[in-house]
A and B are shown apart, each in its own frame.
Chain A
Amino acid sequence: MQLLAAVRKDVLLQWRLRSRSLAVFVFGATVLLLFSFAVGPNAGALRQHATGFLWLAVLLSSTLTLADTFQSEMEQRALEGLLLLPASSAALYYAKALVNWLQLSIFGLSLLPFMVMLYDVPLPRVPALVGIILLGAAGLSAPGTLYAALTAQAKGRHTLLPLLLFPLVVPVLLGSVRASALLIDGDPMEQVTSWATLLASFDLIYWSLCGLLFERVVED
């Protein structure tokens, strides 16, 4: 119940700030466009690295949404008010993490058509790819939300968050990029399952660990 109420609050908050999500999406699409200029008009090279570009675009723009996760809670010390409620702080964390997950997943999925269009990539196994995007987004949102809670209370959150988050999510980036590339280019060795398992284990570990540690980050 606590979790549901918290999720409802965060979804409502995000919905009211939807213009910001749109801005982040446009940023992601721009990043995808810029990668084409960095690699040059060589269609083969672009197609080969398409999934890498997609996930880098998701990662780069995720810091923008993640850094602002606790922005509304910082105003007028709303976070302290929330913590005074007879609700567990874990519910607060999981609500934020779930909403971030939802947001990042929608974000990754909506960048897919751009990737297909810009880099001329075939999409033979769409449901599996959606699954990988969900797993990858979960891996970004769990530690991302925790670090967002931490950096929101510090100076320079827009620099500090990627600094802490990027080294941590190397396995997520690797797993998501390799799995998506295998889904697109064909997977003769059936390696996708192992990468998906790696992503799922990362998600499991960090969704539990960050939920435990969140209380220590927001306590006064």
Chain B
Amino acid sequence: MRGPLPFILIGLATLCLAFGSYYGLFVAPPERYMGDVQRIMYIHVPTAWAAMLAFVWASVCAVMFLLRGTWLWDARLEAAIEVGVVLGLTLCLQGAIWARPTWGVWWDWDPRLTTTAVLLVAFAGIIILRQVVDDPAKRATWSSVATVIAAVDVPIVYFSVTWWNSLHQIQSTPDTVATAFHLPLRMNAVGVLLLMVGLMIARTRHAQLRLQRELADPVPNQIPTATIAAGGTE
């Protein structure tokens, strides 16, 4: 459970983000209509991808825990939810900073924005659920159940809000933006991805250490709890 992997990943991420942001801020040409405001895209779009990935990974972890019941998946779920919520919050903040000069409002009730907000609140609720339940087995099962239920809700929320109201830009991908914007976008995408993975690995280890302490018997015994927390069966 030790090793320099998360530090290496976070270091690489910093390099990628530094290069991508430098290129995006100073080298790439400004966008024709939005001007310099558009440069936030180089970090906003990668954050959105990473946040989405984190939540998908969280649902995978939840399903895997419900099927397998191993502690490793619980630790991974905890890491995925927390990193996802941090990324989601950052995403909403960046979006507000961009929307104010572009749309004239901080917030808009467009489907993608609203779905992100609902998702964020739902997962924040699961983090709080994890905080108040002391029994590790119940905490793991309940948060997995809540994650599955929230994940199923995402497409329904998106769909219903689309009917209700719709103004977002179409998604920016290397296909929808000019070639000059590709390099910083890709650089930052790799950077945010590495950062996310690095943080998740570090957070998973932390969760495993806590599980080890929680599962340990008050009296020293023969069962090596480190193996259990690392993914062995209970």
Contact = CB atoms under 8 A, between A and B. Distances in A.
A219 to B, nearest CB: 7
Nearest to B146: A164
A: contact size bracket = 20 to 34
Given A150-B142, A168-B122, A174 B149 contact: no
Contacts of A12: none
B142 A171 contact: no
Contact of A219 (B121, B141, B152): B141
A160 B132 contact: yes
B110 interface: no
Interface in A126-153: 143, 146-147, 150, 153
B160 A170 contact: yes
Interface centre among B122, B138, B148, B153 (most CB of A within 10 A): B153
A57 to B, nearest CB: 20
A210 B150 CA distance: 12
Interface stretch (B73-81, B123-131, B173-181, B190-198): B123-131
B163 A163 contact: no
Contact of A167 (B121, B142, B160, B163): B121
Given A150-B142, A213-B148, A217-B141, A164 B129 contact: yes
B153 A171 contact: yes
Nearest to B137: A220
B157 A170 contact: yes
A71 to B, nearest CB: 18
B148 to A, nearest CB: 7
B: contact size bracket = 20 to 34
B161 interface: yes
Interface stretch (A26-34, A82-90, A114-122, A201-209): A201-209
Contact of A194 (B141, B153, B163): B163
A201 B156 CA distance: 9
Contacts of B159: 171, 198
Contacts of B132: 154-156, 160
Interface centre among B126, B129, B161 (most CB of A within 10 A): B129
B180 to A, nearest CB: 39
A209 B160 contact: no
B150 to A, nearest CB: 7
Interface string B133-169: 1000010011011101110110011011101100000
B66 interface: yes
Interface centre among B129, B141, B156 (most CB of A within 10 A): B156
Contact of B118 (A150, A170, A195): A170
A77 interface: no
Contact of B146 (A150, A171, A205): A150
Interface centre among B118, B150, B160 (most CB of A within 10 A): B160
A108 interface: no
B18 to A, nearest CB: 36
A216 interface: yes
A154 B135 CA distance: 10
Interface centre among A146, A167, A174, A194 (most CB of B within 10 A): A167
Nearest to B114: A170
Contacts of A175: 160
A79 to B, nearest CB: 13
A205 B153 CA distance: 9
Nearest to A166: B121
A203 B121 CA distance: 21
Interface of A: 143, 146-147, 150, 153-156, 160, 163-164, 166-168, 170-171, 174-175, 178, 194-195, 198, 201-202, 205-206, 209-210, 213, 216-217, 219
Given A167-B121, A167-B150, 6 more contacts: A146-B145, A150-B129, A154-B129, A178-B163, A206-B149, A216-B144
23 contacts: A150-B142, A150-B146, A154-B132, A156-B132, A160-B129, A160-B132, A163-B125, A164-B126, A167-B119, A167-B121, A167-B150, A168-B149, A171-B159, A174-B160, A194-B163, A198-B160, A209-B149, A209-B152, A210-B149, A216-B141, A216-B144, A217-B142, A217-B145
The 4 A-B residue pairs whose C-beta atoms are closest, nearest first, are A167-B122, A171-B160, A167-B121, A163-B125
